Each structure stands twice: as structure tokens, then as C-alpha cells.
Amino acid sequence: MSDDVILEFKNVTKKFAGVTALSDVSFSIRRGEIHGICGENGAGKSTLMKILSGVYPYGDYEGQVIYNGKELKLEEGSIRKAAEEGIAIVYQELTLVPFGTVGENIYLGKEPVELGIINWDKLYSETDALLAKYHMDVNAHTVVRHLGVGKMQMTEIAKALAENAKILILDEPTSALAESEIEQLMQILQGLKRHGVTCIYISHKLDEFFKITDSVTILRDGKTVLTSPTKKLNVESLVRHMVGREMKARFPEGNRKPGAVIFEVEDLHALDPNDTNTEIIKGVSFNLRKGEILGIAGLMGSGRTELVMTLFGEYGKINKGTIKLEGRDVKAGSASQAMRQGISLVPEDRKRHGLVLMQSILRNISMANLDRFASFLRINDAAELKESLELAKSLAIKTSNLHARADSLSGGNQQKVVISKWLMSRPKVLIMDDPTRGIDVGTKFEIYKIMNELAEQGIAIIMISSDLVEVLGMSDRVMVMHEDRSVCTLNIADANQEKIMALATGTAANSKPERSKS
């Protein structure tokens, strides 16, 4: 690695009507390094990236961006131009055509043509060469929608590389990945580095910066706080710089006192609703106590989400086993049925499954519970507003007005809206599928506090998480899943990262892990 600078921001300021998103941002990135950028939501990370990608064109901001020794001047609407210059972005939300093959996607928009006809042989041979060069384990002919998230992301990265990207920007690349996939991604990034590609790495998962980056720039409130070699930092100093105050712990003190068992799942098996020959849940047993947080750990694809969606009545067809709530059999036939029996689910993907983004915060909160306010011909809008307002206040949703559209909120606050929606149905069992995905450290802490409070009120919480630190930090017990089965449930005192990973990957040394007594 040299001191050769590939990209430099010089006093970059970007203002929106009344709001300064970036103020006097200056830092530089050396050629061939992996450069982390971290900061809370709203710190200015995405604005910075939008300048690099040409969404905010040259002249729309003050200051200079020097790229390869020349000032970068992207014109209005020239997102293609940024790519041609060698700046490529892999977004958090993947942008692939699901019905196309890996090869088609990688060469989308730049297919090799002869006389207007695509030369498929050339396309696929080049794809194979590209994938081999960076050691990406994907088949060029696989249709993208059959891939897992990790492989989709590889395809996305390969797509950027096919444009001869000099700088690859990765925006929260690991937010949807399981631990093993993250490992693969890290290896690919190391490979890119060897080939001289510069990476800008944005993430909310702080430990990743220490695993992969050479240096880190910290943004806070639109200003650069610090650029430093990663070696000179540790998690505490990173967090301190990010939030501008001392954060004592990542997890709030809880005072949870789990009570009697309220929810029991015994040897649950379920079939794929679209293909009743395939079993998607192959034997899950666990129980849940009142006021307890039960973490579910497992790799992406281990059946975690399928399990909770089935419990909520919205996915698998149960063909064996029992679900009991307060001793009574639960009929899990649909979401509304599950809700009526006291089960709520905060889904994994809040934008796709949780919110109606174009509607007001108020409507989103009350959406699932209009029964409470509705008579045949009228919704009592004053009562609706009152109850929603109380929830919004108790969860500290940051908005001046419940009539504002849901998409005007930041990710963390959107998540609070989804949680409010599900609390309104007054659940006994609250299932949360990856509740802090893509949320900044400060808001994560708030969500954890909310979870603690709910548990203290006696709600039983099931939390899925891909973040093992979170699972260990928040759960009373941890159930580990592997290949659509529950492997075992550990008391938190007996659990650690190594043990969980071993169980989740099916490589546990002790083939008969001790079952917790509860």
C-alpha cells in the first residue's frame, strides 16, 4: 500500500433547504486500501456517497472532490458517468434482475454485441473469467433468484468489477448476511485489494471495521471527526467519536424476571406452501416464558425466518407438531388469526413487509388494529390518534407530526413505527425478526431498551438476529437452529459465540449439547 491518494474530499459542503447535510468534509483515501466510513444515521454517509455516484452532480455542492489527481465533475443525471470513471456502488438493497442469470446481470447494459446481436458465448466466458479471477463461487448460468443473499451480493460486486471499477463502494454490505457469508465477503474484499481495487466500506457493524479496513473515517453531524489508521482505534474509541459522548455499554441494563412458560412449540414440522413435497421446518421445539427474551440464532437459510412466519400463520403448512399459548392450541392459519390469539410479528424487512411508506405514520401504526376504533360505519379518529400518539411517545419516535409520511423517517424511527403497530395489538408473544438491522448504534440502544421494558411488562419476546453479539447481549436463552431444525436451547450463562457458531454450523464437538432446564 502506498501513500498514493486516489480520492480526496476537500471542504465539501452540501446544503438542502435549511439543513446542512455535509459541512466542510475533508479526508483522503489511498489507492488500494479498504477505507471504512462510519457514523450514526444522518451523519452524512449517504449524502457523501450520492456525491460520488453523481446523484448530486458537480456544482450542487461546495468544495472539491479530487479523483486520480483531477477534480471530479459529474453532470446532472450522470450515474452512468460515475461508473465509466471507475466509481461503482453496491447498494444495501440489491439491484439485480431476479429472472436473469448471473452472467446476464453482470453484463446488463454492456452486453458484448456483434451487429446488434448478443454474443452469449463471449458473455459467459468473460463472466467465468471474472468470477474465477476474484475467487467468487457462483455459477454464471444460475438464475439470480435461486441464489442466496450472499451470492447475489457477489454477483453485484462482480457486476461493478466488470465495469473496471477502480473504487468500489459497499453500503452496509453485511446487513443481510449471515456470519459465514460475511466471512466469504471479507475474503473477496481481501482479494480485490490484492488486485489493486480501492474499497470504501460503510457499515453499522463496528467489529467489521477492525476485521477488514486499513483506515477509518468517522462522520458525525455532517462533519469529519477523524480519519485514522484502523490499528490506532478500538471499539470504544470508535463509538465515542461516532456519538460524541461516552457510551458505557452496547446493551442497556435490564431487569427482566422471566416467569412461567407461556408459549410452547413441540416438534414442529411444516411444508413449503408452494411445494408440499418439501419440508421447510424439520422439527423445532422450544418454550418461552413470560417476560423472557429468547434469541434465535442460526445462519441465513437455517429456517429462522421460515419458522417465525409459520408461527405467525403466514408461511409454512404445519403437518406435524403442536404450538401452545397459555396451554391452548394455537391455530396458525393467517396473520389476523395469530394476532387475535396474542401473537405479533415485527417482520424482517420493514420497508417490504412492515410499512406502507407512502402513508402517514398514524395510519401505519393503526393499520393492523382498526377493529379497536371501528364501528360499522365509522372509525373513531380521535381515539385512533390518541392511542397512536401514546405509543409514539412511549417509543420516542422522532417526528413533529404523526401525519407525516412514514418514508420521511430514518430507518430506526421507521422500525419504531413497526414496533408500535404490533404493540397496539397488545400481544402476549412478540416475535421480532432482526429488529435492529441497518439501524445505527444510538437507535439500536433505544430499541434494546424498548425490548427490555416490554419484557418487564410481561410480554414474551422471540428475537431473531444475525448479530451474535446482539443475541448474547439481549437474550435470556438462545435457541440455535441448523438446517431447519432447532439444535438446542442454551441458557445465556452457558452461551458464547464459539459455542453458538459450532451449533449453527453443525460442527459442535459435543454432539449432545446440554439442554437448558426451564
Partner 1 sequence: MSAISATPQETMFTKVVRQLRGNLQTYTLVVAMIVIWGLFAALTGGSYVSAQNFSNLFRQMTITAIMSVGMVLVIVTGGIDLSVGKLAGYISVWAAFLQLRVWDSIFPGQALLAAILSSIAGIGIGTLFGVIQGYIIAYLRIPAFIVTLGSMWILNGLILVRTEGKTIAANQPYFSEIGQGYLPAWLGWIIAALIVAALFGLMFTSRRRKAKYGFTLPPIGMDLAKTIFFCLLVVGYVAYVNAYRGIQNPVLILAVLAIAVSYISDNTKFGRHAYAIGGNREAARLSGINIQSNIFKIFILMGFLCGVSGVVMASYVGYGTIAAGGGYELDAIAACFLGGTSTFGGEGTVFGAMVGALIMASLVNGLQIMNVPSAWQYVVKGIVLVIAVLLDVYMKRNR
Q: Is 393 in the site for partner 1 (CB under 8 A)?
A: yes
Query: Given the complex with partner 1, which of 97 and 374 has the nearer CB atom?
Result: 374
Position 342 contacts partner 1 (CB under 8 A)? no
Q: How many CB atoms lie within 10 A of CB 518?
A: 15
Distances 448 to 39, 255, 299, 437 between C-alpha atoms, Å: 19, 12, 22, 12
Rounded to an integer, what distance in angstroms lies between the CA atom of residue 301 and that of residue 243?
Answer: 34
> Could you give the angle at the alpha carbon of 254 between the alpha carbons of 253 and 259, nearest 5°?
165
Output 297 or 308, the one with its CB closest to partner 1. Answer: 308
354 binds partner 1, rule: CB under 8 A: yes
Cβ closest to partner 1, residue 407 vs residue 456: 407
Q: With residue 78 as reference, give the H or E element that holds it.
A: none
Say if residues 307 and 343 touch (Cβ distance below 8 Å): no
Q: How many residues at the interface with partner 1, by CB under 8 A? A: 45
Q: Which of 135, 141, 211, 352 binds partner 1 (CB under 8 A)?
A: 352
358 binds partner 1 (CB under 8 A): yes
Q: Is 382 in the site for partner 1 (CB under 8 A)?
A: yes
Can you tell me the distance from the alpha carbon of 25 to that of 64, in angstroms, rounded to the nearest whole number?
Answer: 10
CA distance 364 to 367: 5
Return the residue of 94, 225, 368, 469 that touches partner 1, per CB under 8 A. Answer: 368
By CB under 8 A, residue 383 contacts partner 1: yes
* Shortest Å, Cβ 71 to partner 1: 29
Distance in Å, CB of 345 to partner 1, minimum: 7
Least spacing, CB of residue 331 vs partner 1, in Å:
14
Residue of the chain from 106, 355, 481, 503 that contacts partner 1 (CB under 8 A): 355
Please answer whether residues 503 and 510 qualify as being in contact, where contact means their C-beta atoms are separated by less than 8 angstroms. Answer: no
Contact string 396-415 vs partner 1 (x = CB under 8 A): -x-xxxxx------------
Report which residue type is found at 204. H
By C-beta, is 211 or 393 nearer to partner 1? Answer: 393
Exactly one of 370, 498, 506, 514 binds partner 1 (CB under 8 A); which one?
370
Whole-angstrom distance, CA of residue 287 vs CA of residue 324: 9
C-alpha cell at 41: 444515521
Contacts of 17 (CB under 8 A, 6+ apart): none
Pairing of β 113-114 and β 117-118? antiparallel
Instruction: Tell me: does residue 206 bind partner 1 (CB under 8 A).
Output: no
294 within 8 A of 461, measured Cβ to Cβ: yes
Q: Can residue 343 be called a binding residue for partner 1 (CB under 8 A)?
A: no
Enumerate binding residues for partner 1 (CB under 8 A).
Answer: 312, 314, 334-339, 345, 347, 352-359, 362-363, 367-368, 370-371, 374, 376-383, 385-386, 389, 392-393, 397, 399-403, 421
